[in-house]
Amino acid sequence: MIPRIPPGAPRRAGYLQPGRAGDTAMAEARIGEIVIIGGGTAGWMAAAALARFVGSQVSIRLIESDAIGTIGVGEATIPQLKLFNAGLGIDEAMFVRATSATFKLGIEFDGWREPGARYIHAFGAIGRGHGLIPFHHYWLRHRAEGGTIPLWAFSASAQAAARNRFAPLQEQPDQLPSGMDYAFHFDAGLYAAFLRDYAERLGVRRIEGRIADVVLGGETGFVQAVTLEDGTRLAGDLFVDCSGFRGLVIEQALGAGYDDWSRWLPCDRALAVPSARVDPLTPFTRSSARKAGWQWRIPLQHRTGNGHVYCSAFTSDDDAAATLLAHLDGAPLADPRPLRFTTGKRRRMWIKNCVALGLAAGFMEPLESTSIHLVQAGIARLLQLFPTAGFDPADIAEFNRQSDFEWTSIRDFLILHYHANARDGAFWAACRNIAIPDSLAHKIALFRANGRLFREHEELFTELGWLQVMIGQGIDPAGYHPLADQLAPQELVDFMTLARQHTDRVVASLPDHAAFIARHCAAPARDTVAA
């Protein structure tokens, strides 16, 4: 059961009371009715967050149809999801049990640089900076002087992942930080159900039905209502479009337009299939390069999630399915489920009184587990810029500006994985020869010269994320920051030794990943096929 969070003010179905807003005119300017189009992970994340933070002021209804399936491929996450769950007041152990989750310390990339080569994009810190410069410049000097210690020897998350160890450490103020961070693997369908229960307890009303029509105002062009197939008319002030690729409101009714990024990210199809759980229960996602794309492996408590993202111009659907099934490490539990997509985003994710989230906003392949985060980020932006009934154009423009920046910076990070490769084959040669965006070319050039990395405007992936993928994909800097030479040779040896010893001590203190789950947050037995 999900604990009810006290909503604070009394819930009302309509506008705020005049006394709370200050005067009647102000009260009438408030949003009173929110209609969410579509359920799934995006819809119920939006419903839960809106109910938690503005539910005392508005009425929230969510329309979904049991006859319409959800995509549900986003089972791996990044650490920011902990903030979302914490904001809702959700107990972590309860969440892990309810969603058959496991813990995730990073993503292992197998064969992306070249066959047989592996590296991990691990969460958390790598070493500790010294003076004015980050740790990796000292590591670059260490390597330039003949040192052979790999970068990931200084990452507690990477080393714990390699040894199948995990526990959420409580940082102590009188000790060095552990350097660890983590996210989750979970069943997306179970997470949506978990959040539905949460949202309905806070007053969200679910309406079963399929939308037949979107009613726009003749003069304003704002969405006035949606009509269901049974004739039911549902009016609202703010509409949140979580209708998937169709973009039922944002695209079909409001004509947002779509930025097609397939010239940089050419994969356009995916197949997903569950397989039987196998041990050990690894605390990381695996992404393995294939002939014309890549394959994911996501371990859950009750099964393993698998999928193959590929480019149809370089392989057939049958060959892609055969490749996927040939590389499962457990028995398949269903037939592969197909998905077609065009990587990109809506040109505007907020138009008039409609905000798009999830697949209605765009699609980024799950290479770095960003799908659920982009929903979370969109919800956070909506709450930060929550409108009045006047829907000020400046607020809408800022939402779209921030969304464009985040999506574009993630796009560049994904392109990096494909572009920097030394694999054989027509697909990988095509990716290597793509004319990359100037923004990405600048990052690569800056790093290739002297290992410099800068995070701009709170972009999602930090310098450490870019560092690991750059090094992992074989982009080697010619130099390093000159201040790294301030340490004497023996001081550098001591500095590196102490950093590695600290990592080893942290990892040695951790229990086995599966044992931790069994002891603290084991899920009930589940139907492995249905999930």
Active-site residue numbers? 104
Q: How far apart are CA 442 and CA 437, in angstroms?
A: 9
Q: How far apart are CA 128 and CA 295, in angstroms?
A: 33
The torsion region of residue 357 among left (phi > 0), alpha (psi -120 to 50) and beta comes to beta
Could you identify the residue written with the tokens 């003749």? Answer: 218
In one letter, which amino acid is 423?
R
Cβ partners under 8 Å of residue 217, min gap 6: 223, 224
Reported residue count of the chain is: 531
Partners of 273 in beta bridges: 306
The torsion region of residue 274 among left (phi > 0), alpha (psi -120 to 50) and beta comes to beta
CA angle 70, 100, 6 (to 5 degrees): 85
Q: How far apart are CA 345 and CA 173, in angstroms?
A: 43
- Helix (H/G/I), strand (E/B), else coil: 137: helix
Cα 468 to Cα 251, 283, 409, 484: the distances in Å are 37, 18, 16, 19
Largest CA-CA distance found in the chain, in angstroms, rounded: 79
- CA–centroid distance for 133 within its chain: 29
CB 122 within 8 A of CB 108: no
DSSP secondary structure of 381-410: HHHHT---TT--HHHHHHHHHHHHHHHHHH
- For 231, other C-beta atoms within 10 Å of its C-beta total 8
Partners of 258 in beta bridges: 346
280 prior amide bond cis, ω within 30:
yes
Q: How far apart are CA 431 and CA 419, in angstroms?
A: 5
